Amino acid sequence: MPVEEKPCALSYSRGPSRPLLDLTIGGLLDRTASRYPDRLAVASCHQGKRLTWAELSAMADRVARGLWSLGIRRGDRVGIWSTNCIEWTMMHMGVARAGASLVNINPAYRSHELQFTLHRSRMKALFLWHKDKHADYQDILARACHDLDLELEHTIYFDSPEWPAFLDAEGRLPDYVDPQDIADIQYTSGTTGLPKGVMLTHYNVINDGQFLAQGFHYTEIDKIVVPVPLFHCYGCVIGSMTSLNTGAALILPNWTFDPRLTLKAIHDERATSVYGVPAMYVAEFALPEFPTYDLTSLRTGMMSGAPCPIELMKRVLNEMHIGELVIAYGQTETSPVVTMSDAADTIEVRVNTVGRAMPQTEIQVVSTTTNEPLPRGEQGEICVRGYALMKGYDGDPAGTALVIHEDGWLYTGDLGVMREDGCLRITGRSRDVIIRGGENIYPREVEEFLYTHPKVSEAQVVGLPHARLGEVVCAWIRLQPGAEATEEEIKDFCKDQIAYYKIPEYVRFVTEIPATLSGKIQKYKIREFEIEARGLQSVANAATA
C-alpha cells in the first residue's frame, strides 16, 4: 500500500488570543499612577531628575493644559525634536492626554529633512532644546523655515523661561480622547524613498506594549535601561509602553547612547532589563572597564533593530547575565513588534529565530510572485495582519494601499522562512532599505540629495556590510563632464544637510554604472564589486540570527 503523504503545513501562524486594552495612553497612565503612585516611573540619570508615577501623571496634566493654552486641540500635531530626556517622556504622556498627535523628529535631522517634516506633518507646535554638542537646533530650524509657509505657530525651548511658563499655564483637559485616535506620527523611509509619516494609534502602541511586557515578564519591580532613542519606536513603545503597562521604571542613561553610561546606569540603578541594537552591545563589551560593572541584577533585555550576530548574542546571555534575553522583529508600520521570542524560550530559539507571532497577530510568508502562502521552510515575503497595523501613512492613501492590501495584510518587504515550530527566521529584504545601527535608510532619499550637488550627474547608493553597525552607506557617483571632485568634498557637502547616518561611508567615482538592457540599475553588482574590492567577504558572510 502506498504511504499517503501528509500535506505540508503552510507558512501561517496566529499568536494566542489575549484581551486587548481599549484605553488611551492618558487612561493607562491614570491606571498605573493609581496602582503605583510612589514607585519610580522614570529616571534621567544624566539630568539627575526622577519622577514617580503620581508625579509623571501630574506633569502630563500640566503639559496637556499648557497645550490647550496654546490653542492645541484634539487631533492637532505637536512636534518634539530632542534626544533622550525626562522632558521627552513628559511630552509623550502630556500630548497624548491632550488628545493631540506627537510627531517624533529624529535629532540627527538637518535642514533638508526637517523642512520636509515640518511641512508634511502640519505640526502647530514644536518643542526642542536650543543646542547640544551635536547640533545647533535653533539655527537648523531657522534655515529649515526660511521662505516656507508652515502651520507651525509655537516654538518652545526646554532650556528657556518659556518651558516653565508653559507648564504653569492655565488650560483644561479634553472632554474625550478615543483609543483609535492617532497618538504618534513616526517618520520612516518608505517605498518611494521619501520619509513617510507612520500614524500609530493609542490602541496600536498600548497593546503592543502590553504584549511585549508579557513576553519580558515585567512587573512593577523591574527597571528598564533604555539607551535607544525615544523618538524611535524602540524607545517610545518597546521602552515607554512596556513601562506604562506594568509600572516598571524607565531608566535613561544619557542624551544619546554612551556605552559607559549605559553600564553605569545598570550598575547604579540595579536594573533588571536593558535594550540595544547589536552595535550597542559590541561597544559595551569593548570597554576595558567592562568587568568592573556589576550587571548581576539583569534578568532580561532585548537585542533588535538589526541582524543579531549569533556569537554576540551568546556573550550577552553569559557575560551580561541576561539569561532571559529576547529577540523581536517588526517595523514602524506595525507599532513595531509582531514576532518575539519569550523569556522562557530555549537559547536555540532565541539565537536562531526572531520568535513567533505576538498575541492577536497573524503572520504569513507568501510567494513574491503570486502572493500565495508558501509551505513552511520556504523563503518568501513576510506579511502581517492584526491590531498593530498602522492607521496609514499620513496624507498618502496611495502609499498606504501599496503596503496594506484590501484583505488587511501588510506586506513588509522583508524575506523570511517560517519553521515547523512557527518561529520565524529573517533571511533578507526584498526592498533595498539599508539598516545602519538600527536606523533605516532608503537609498533613493540619499541619491536625490546627492543629485543636488552641482558636480553630480548620477548617484547610486547601496548598503555594504559592516561588522559593528550591520550596514553602512556606499555611493557610486558619475560626475558632470569635465568636473572633478574628491570623496571628502562629497561627504562635506552632506554634513549638516542630511542626518549623519545617511552620509556615505564610501564614495567611488565611476564612468559607468551596471544596468540591464532595459536600463534598470543592477545594484547587486555594485554591492558585489565593493565587497570584493574592499575585502568585506568575511563580514558579509558572518552568521546572524
- pLDDT value of residue 496: 87
Q: Which of 210-214, 276-280, 322-326 has the highest mean pLDDT?
A: 210-214
Helices (H), strands (E): how many in the chain?
Answer: 18, 26
Q: Tell me the pLDDT tens digit for each residue of 288-330.
A: 999 999 999 999 999 987 767 777 888 999 999 999 999 999 9
pLDDT tier at 2, thresholds 50, 70, 90: very low
Q: What is the mean pLDDT of the chain?
A: 92
Ramachandran assignment for 237, one of left (phi > 0), alpha (psi -120 to 50 degrees), beta (any other): alpha
Q: Which of 1-5, 108-112, 167-171 has the highest mean pLDDT?
A: 167-171
- pLDDT value of residue 516: 58
- pLDDT value of residue 304: 87
Per the DSSP assignment, residues forming a β-bridge with 326 are 302
Whether the pLDDT of residue 192 is over 60: the answer is no
pLDDT tier at 41, thresholds 50, 70, 90: very high
* Contact between residue 227 and residue 280 where contact means Cβ atoms under 8 Å apart: yes
Q: How far is CA 340 from the centre of its chain?
A: 16
Q: Tell me the pLDDT tens digit for each residue of 435-489.
A: 899 888 878 889 889 989 999 988 999 999 998 999 999 999 999 999 999 999 9
- pLDDT value of residue 148: 84
**Average pLDDT score over residue span 152-180:** 97
Question: Which cell is 367 given?
Answer: 510567494
* Contact between residue 459 and residue 493 where contact means Cβ atoms under 8 Å apart: no
Domains and CATH numbers, the chain: 25-353 (3.40.50.12780), 434-540 (3.30.300.30)
% of the chain exceeding 70 in pLDDT:
95
* Contact between residue 37 and residue 58 where contact means Cβ atoms under 8 Å apart: no
Least confident of 169-178, 234-243, 336-345, 499-508: 336-345
Report the C-alpha gap between 278 and 263 in whole angstroms: 15
* Contact between residue 253 and residue 242 where contact means Cβ atoms under 8 Å apart: no
**Average pLDDT score over residue span 269-275:** 98
Q: Which residues contact 320 (CB under 8 A, 6 or more apart)?
A: 274, 281, 284, 295, 298, 301
pLDDT tier at 431, thresholds 50, 70, 90: low
Query: Which among 285, 262, 283 has a CA at the least distance from the CA of 274?
Result: 262
Question: Which cell is 412 given?
Answer: 513588509
- pLDDT value of residue 190: 44
- pLDDT value of residue 194: 67
Q: Which residue has the cell 529584504?
A: 429
* Contact between residue 236 and residue 92 where contact means Cβ atoms under 8 Å apart: yes
Q: Tell me the pLDDT tens digit for each residue of 6-23.
A: 457 999 999 999 999 999
Report the C-alpha gap between 75 and 64 in whole angstroms: 13
pLDDT tier at 362, thresholds 50, 70, 90: very high
% of the chain exceeding 90 in pLDDT:
79
- pLDDT value of residue 543: 56
Q: What are phi and psi of 384, to 5 degrees?
A: -135, 145
Whether the pLDDT of residue 5 is over 50: the answer is no
Report the C-alpha gap between 417 and 11 in whole angstroms: 8
Report the C-alpha gap between 115 and 493 in whole angstroms: 18
Q: Tell me the pLDDT tens digit for each residue of 396-412.
A: 999 999 999 999 999 99
Whether the pLDDT of residue 35 is over 70: the answer is yes
Q: Tell me the pLDDT tens digit for each residue of 478-520.
A: 999 999 999 999 999 999 899 999 999 999 999 998 875 546 6
**Average pLDDT score over residue span 221-245:** 97
**Average pLDDT score over residue span 29-55:** 98
Helix (H, G, I), strand (E, B) or coil at 357: strand
- Maximum Cα–Cα distance across the chain: 87
pLDDT tier at 544, thresholds 50, 70, 90: low
Return the DSSP state at 501. G
Report the C-alpha gap between 545 and 539 in whole angstroms: 14
- pLDDT value of residue 282: 86
Whether the pLDDT of residue 269 is over 90: the answer is yes
Question: Which cell is 313 given?
Answer: 548574542
Query: Which among 468, 393, 409, 475 has a CA at the least distance from the CA of 441?
Result: 475
Q: Which of 147-151, 270-274, 478-482 has the highest mean pLDDT?
A: 270-274
Global pTM reads: 0.88
Question: Which cell is 542 given?
Answer: 558572518
